Chain A
Amino acid sequence: MTDTAQTSQARAQGGVTLSAALPWIIAGLFLLVMPFIFQSNSAITIMNQMAITIIFALSYNMLLGQGGMLSFGHAVYMGVGGFLCVHIMNWEIFGSLPLPILPIFGGIFGLILALIVGSFSTRKAGTVFAMISLGVGELIAACSVIIVVFFGGEEGISGDRTYGLPFFGIEFLTQIEVYYLIAFWLLVSALLMYLFSRTPIGRMANAVRDNPERAEFLGYSARWVRFYSFIAAGFFAGIAGGLFAINYEILTEENLNLHTSGSILLVTFLGGVGFFFGPIIGAIVFTLLQTVLSLETELWALYVGALFVATVMFFPGGLSGVLMMHGTPIKLGKWRMLVKPYIKVLVPAVLCILGLAGFIELMFHARHAAIGESEMTLFWTTFDHSNPMPWIVFAVLALGGFWLARKGSPELTGAWHEANTPDEVSE
């Protein structure tokens, strides 16, 4: 009794402990040094996009992961926040407004819209909520061509961030200055969203997600709990929108539509909804795939789609879930026994995927390339698609890799089981 009481006291008093603050300090330092490691302009552009997507995905996960609300229209809260910020950039008053505080206005606007929509959409979770979010999302996306004053019709609305009041002499002319602005907001928003999940309302959001009826019999209205999560998510989506406005200086219908709402669901699910850092991983991986892979191949969306389907089917916990699965073997000190079987399965599996991708690319090129253009470059080699050799190589890679991976998988399953079972002696 005294033992547990003491630990709980220590837990309750401690203030901000080092172990709790450490991940955030590391994240801050990491954001600080990243531009020194990746100095090219295109790398900074990708990182800006990544950071905005991270905030958006974390905000989305407040609904999906924390609150159990599947939304098909979360883009609109980011979108309207962004549109408002571009409008502010075009107003006279912008000259006396430092740019770094602009995202707050986006946040507030996102919150107000969420307040209105949430007042009727959070009554129920599940299918009802999903359908309302879809309807509202489509409705507002349709408004972009109707309310031209605000949404600017098909061209959208553009502005110029450099008209703002210089912030300690910084006018945000370069990408790197914008990077640090976005990185600052990323850290602040992520920290606030994390802290939100530790508050009474954040804890009850999990409770309502798991069992709304039980929560009602504990004195909480499931609807109000959902509503508060919803408007908080709207606020942070609006912040992401404001940052988008600063980074790209233009917003269009694309920022509101179903496609954007759908891809943030994909990003969040890919990273995993079960852990706070899941959407962060999802946003990083997705942005990399989207930017880097799309430079390499026209078919990138096909691969991303396949990855998403594979995640849903085989790893419903997402990438973060896969990472956290290794907690037990590491705690038991048995992770080393996984290394060899992993190599035996993953190397052939990667070869199989590359072979398959190569085969698809060959086929695509053979079918769709301009007539007479039979040369193509894939995996840093140039070859002719009319030559049977590359076809054979990719087929062998795909089939051989598959066969080897299948052959190695029972060993991996066995090792996995073994690594997750504590030794009898230690019990």
Chain B
Amino acid sequence: MTTALEITNLRKSFGQTEIIRGVNLEIKDDERHAVIGPNGAGKSTLFNLITGRFPQTAGVIQLHGKDLSGKAPYEINRMGLSRSFQITNIFPKMTVFENVRCSLLWSLGYKYSFWNMVSKSRALNEGAEAILEQINLTARRDLPAGLLSYAEQRALEIGITIAGGADVILLDEPTAGMSHSETDYIVELIRKVTVGKTLVMVEHDMGVVFGLADKISVLVYGEIIATGAPEEVRANPRVQEAYLGEAMEAGH
């Protein structure tokens, strides 16, 4: 198995404050990797560094062996990495169908074309319909995305994230703010759409984490204190002390 994402000695400071303090992480192809940790541990910052939203202060991030430093988000996306956001990030005024179709444009090679009509492309329209089918939003196809329910918007965001065919998918708290049944639904959806892909997710819900992940990393104050299979991490005394004990008590 080859390495999809490799992070070496990553550091990030905002002014005087160091948020990420030397993170090392290796994520293999087809792995489902969860990053957990208490609030303010730097999980979202880590995601923002990987996806080029912020520049790192030091360290190296490699996607399939290629260095990502200095690359803009759109360049990183073109290299096969896609992400969702903690706060729903879709195109609210466009229809659900348009949302998905836009996310297919680049990967189908349309680039900045002004000589193709989007409505005339079968690959584009059928591709978008297929994604809608996968995320069960076919019935909502012509509604402005901003009018969908919260859970539907999250599902749409996952659809947009995977549509471009990226093989490394980063999901930032995909089940945040959801009811139990909605969470179960989204977990199933994630499982379904990430088959054969590398998944990295930040998540608070321990049920989701232990249900989905093959491997878990625990991030505390900008450092990874443990990485391993769910059972190993659960048994790790440092993790229990730092975080898991209270979170698991709260979760059950």
Q: Which residues of A contact B (CB under 8 A)?
A: 1, 4-5, 8-9, 11-13, 195-196, 198-204, 206-207, 210-211, 213-222, 224-225, 228, 232
Contacts and interface: CB of A to CB of B under 8 A. Distances in A.
A218 B119 contact: no
A232 to B, nearest CB: 7
B209 to A, nearest CB: 24
B77 A219 contact: yes
Contact of A198 (B77, B91, B102, B118): B118
Most interface-central of A11, A219, A224 (chain B CB within 10 A): A219
Contacts of B112: 200-201, 204, 224-225, 228
A11 B125 CA distance: 9
Contacts of A220: 74, 105-106
Nearest to B52: A216
How many chain B residues sit at the interface, stated as a range, is 35 or more
A232 B102 contact: no
A224 B113 CA distance: 12
Contact of B129 (A8, A200, A201, A211): A8
9 contacts: A12-B126, A199-B116, A201-B113, A203-B102, A206-B94, A206-B98, A210-B91, A219-B164, A228-B112
A207 B126 contact: no
Given A210-B92, A216-B72, A218-B164, 4 more contacts: A1-B133, A9-B122, A12-B121, A213-B73
Contacts of A207: 91, 94, 102
Contacts of B116: 199-200
B51 A214 contact: no
B200 to A, nearest CB: 14
Interface in B78-136: 78, 82-83, 89-94, 98, 101-103, 105-107, 110-122, 125-126, 129, 133
B113 A200 contact: yes
B49 interface: no
Contacts of A196: 114
Contacts of B171: none
Given A4-B138, A12-B122, A12-B126, A200 B91 contact: no
A214 B160 contact: yes
A62 B47 CA distance: 34
B91 A206 contact: yes
A121 to B, nearest CB: 18
A65 to B, nearest CB: 11
A201 to B, nearest CB: 5
Contacts of B114: 196, 199-202, 228, 232
Most interface-central of A200, A215, A222 (chain B CB within 10 A): A200
B102 A204 contact: yes
B77 A199 contact: no
A198 B115 CA distance: 10
Contacts of A221: 72, 74
Nearest to B78: A219
A273 to B, nearest CB: 11
A229 to B, nearest CB: 10
Contacts of B74: 215-222
A12 B115 contact: no
Q: Which 9 A-B pairs have the closest CB atoms?
A: A219-B106, A200-B110, A210-B91, A216-B73, A12-B122, A219-B77, A8-B125, A199-B114, A200-B113
B91 A214 contact: yes
B144 to A, nearest CB: 10
Contact of B126 (A8, A206, A210, A222): A8
A107 to B, nearest CB: 15
B91 to A, nearest CB: 4
Contacts of A214: 89-91, 160
Given A12-B120, A210-B93, A211-B89, A218 B125 contact: no
Contact of B117 (A199, A210, A211, A216): A199
B92 A9 contact: no
Contacts of B51: 217
Contacts of A195: 117
Interface in B181-215: none
B142 to A, nearest CB: 11
